[in-house]
Chain A
Amino acid sequence: MRYRSLERLTIIFAWLTGLLLLSAVSLLLGYLFIKGYQSVNLTLIFGDASPLRAILLQERVFNGLFPAIVGTLILVLLSVFWAIPIGMATGIYLAEYASPRAKRVLDAFFDVLSGIPSIVIGLFGFAFAVFLHKHYSDRIGPCLLISSIALSFLVLPYIIRTTQASLEGIPRETRLTALALGATKFQNIFLVLIPRSLTGIMSGIILAIGRCAEDTAVIMLTGAVASTGLPRSLFAQYEALPFYIYYISSQYADRAELMQGYGASIILILLCAVLFSVAYGIRKGLTHFALYRP
């Protein structure tokens, strides 16, 4: 009888916690959308400028989110651009070349790398920028380039792990066919194994993009600022959506700015939701990616 009540309690407890988590998250999202949905429109993004002329870069946007959105976009593309080649090559090495011992050692390194708090990576980027500034050129400071490099460190473990996991998931028969037909190891990797595991690698890359888009801690130390317009070069400071949201939450001057903060939050969350759904559509079951979240 005692066991029975324990079982019943467990069931009640499980459903209660499930409900609690669901209501907490719907409260969070509901609050955001109900308070902010009115502010999501073209004015939020382009301010007083005309959308077409702003996109064609003929007109500067002063009071809209356009520069922040563009900043985030460029930042994400750059970071992924740095991270993909080296991440994929490392993943291939781990899956196809490394001896079990080398693999154990390298695994430890990447586990640590994926666990390093993003603010520490940001601090590293900042210190690196200062170092370059002092020793090489006065023109280098915290900037878009430094941010994107630091962010690429942050998402490197994702790309390594997804590449490695999808290569290792290929069945033995597929793995051996081309080799048996006389292909070299390199040909086998590039013509058979990589195409076979492309979906897995792609979903990892998209999740990495999502991670770059949402991260605030790295960019706040490495060159994101609240207002500067569109980034003029790789060595310039820039605006970014998540940093803008953080900035507004502590520094908003009036209701209009606050509403812009809500609007920016909704845009960011939609962006992340879209990326996540795409990654999910490409490959079902993302549990193990979520676990590698740095």
Chain B
Amino acid sequence: MKRYRELIAERVFLLSALASSAITVAILVFMVFMGLPLLKQGGLYQLLLKPWAPFQGSFGIYPMIIGTGAISLLSLLFAFPLSLGCSFLIGSIAPPSVSKWFRRLIELMTGIPTVIYGFVGVFLLVPIVRELFGSGSGLCILTAALVLGIMITPTMTLFFCDSFDRIPKAYLDAADALGASPVQKLLYVILPAAKQGMINGVILSLGRAVGDTLIALMLAGNSVRVAESVLEPARTLTAHIALVIAADYESPEFRSIFACGVVLYLFTMAVTFLVRYLTFSKDQTV
């Protein structure tokens, strides 16, 4: 009797684990399945590298890929130095009481809903950008990237702090024993030792920037043309999915958003496996 209960419990846990991982696979399979007719129609080249012009029968998602790349990379450019400085502050430069308090604040900041960033961006930053550069509506790549940069900074800072925390205490003690100041410890001991973890943090933050929907949707202007400067509007893959709600489920417009979904999914997978690979290869060498 007892043995059966043990067995049943184990089976139930195993089944749950299999079901949860099946979800991961099911999402991809479903996307591919729904997007397949479009792929058969025009091929991969048509889909990925052609412009979006529904009235001419062209449903390429090239502009959205470029838009996503531009906005997320630019936001990373803003977020990286910010996060680097903040993690320095928490990691060693600020006195312990300040650093503890600051870290808690940053953890709290990761909880601010993205829609709030978007909302304040629309009413606060958009008019400023419009006045400052005097062109267009203020809804542009720059605005979206600025807000997105601020949004991912807390997460990226925590990634960096996390990789600082993983440094063996003996290294830090050795530096202290040699009379290093906090900033010397940071520059010559912590940073070199934490480099790998920090690279992981940047990659994961990029994944998060690419996956964000609301900020780009609300602030980037959603134009389907390929933008020529950061002051022009653009549309991201995520925003494209949110915007194309076609009534006709068989239409190529509707099918194309599944292509966006597949691209985003594969990108996520690439990010995850890259990070796992980097972590794994590091574990082997140490």
Contacts and interface: CB of A to CB of B under 8 A. Distances in A.
A111 B120 CA distance: 31
Interface in A221-279: 221, 242, 245-246, 248-250, 261, 265, 268-269, 272-273, 275-277
Interface residues of B, number: 96
Nearest to B150: A24
Nearest to B108: A276
B207 A249 contact: no
Nearest to B240: A119
Interface residues of A, number: 88
Given A17-B86, A90-B13, A250-B218, A117 B27 contact: no
Contacts of B258: 123, 127
B155 A293 contact: yes
A90 B6 contact: no
Contact of B213 (A11, A113, A186, A216): A216
B27 A120 contact: yes
Given A90-B17, A186-B5, A272-B111, A31 B116 contact: no
A119 B211 contact: yes
A221 B162 CA distance: 34
Interface stretch (A52-60, A92-100, A169-177): A92-100
Interface stretch (B170-178, B180-188, B226-234): B180-188
A277 to B, nearest CB: 8
Contacts of A6: 187
Contacts of B145: none
A130 B247 CA distance: 11
A226 B264 CA distance: 27
A249 to B, nearest CB: 5
Contact of A214 (B20, B83, B104, B113): B113
Given A17-B84, A110-B20, A127 B124 contact: no
B199 interface: no
A10 B88 CA distance: 8
Query: Secondary structure at chain A's binding surface: helix, strand, loop or mixed?
Result: helix
B82 A17 contact: yes
Contact of A291 (B10, B94, B155): B155
B241 A119 contact: yes
Contacts of B34: 127
A269 B17 contact: no
Interface string A51-92: 000000000000000000000000000000000011101101
Contacts of A122: 241
Contact of B13 (A24, A92, A220, A242): A92
20 contacts: A11-B93, A17-B85, A18-B89, A20-B82, A28-B116, A28-B117, A31-B124, A90-B19, A93-B14, A115-B207, A117-B213, A127-B30, A156-B23, A184-B5, A210-B111, A221-B241, A249-B123, A250-B218, A272-B111, A291-B204
A290 to B, nearest CB: 4
B211 A89 contact: no
The listed residue with most A CB atoms (<10 A of its CB), out of B2, B104, B213, B265, is B213
B242 interface: yes
A246 B118 contact: yes
Contacts of A269: 112-113, 116
A111 B276 contact: yes
A96 B6 CA distance: 13
Contacts of A130: 249
B210 A117 contact: yes
A221 to B, nearest CB: 7
Nearest to B19: A86
Given A86-B19, A90-B17, A217 B238 contact: yes
Contact of A123 (B161, B261, B268, B273): B261
Interface in A24-39: 24-25, 27-28, 31-32, 35
Given A18-B102, A115-B271, A261-B119, A89 B276 contact: no
Given A123-B258, A127-B31, A265-B120, 20 more contacts: A7-B183, A7-B187, A17-B81, A21-B150, A89-B12, A92-B13, A97-B14, A118-B213, A120-B27, A120-B241, A120-B264, A120-B268, A123-B31, A123-B257, A130-B249, A153-B27, A186-B9, A216-B114, A261-B119, A291-B204
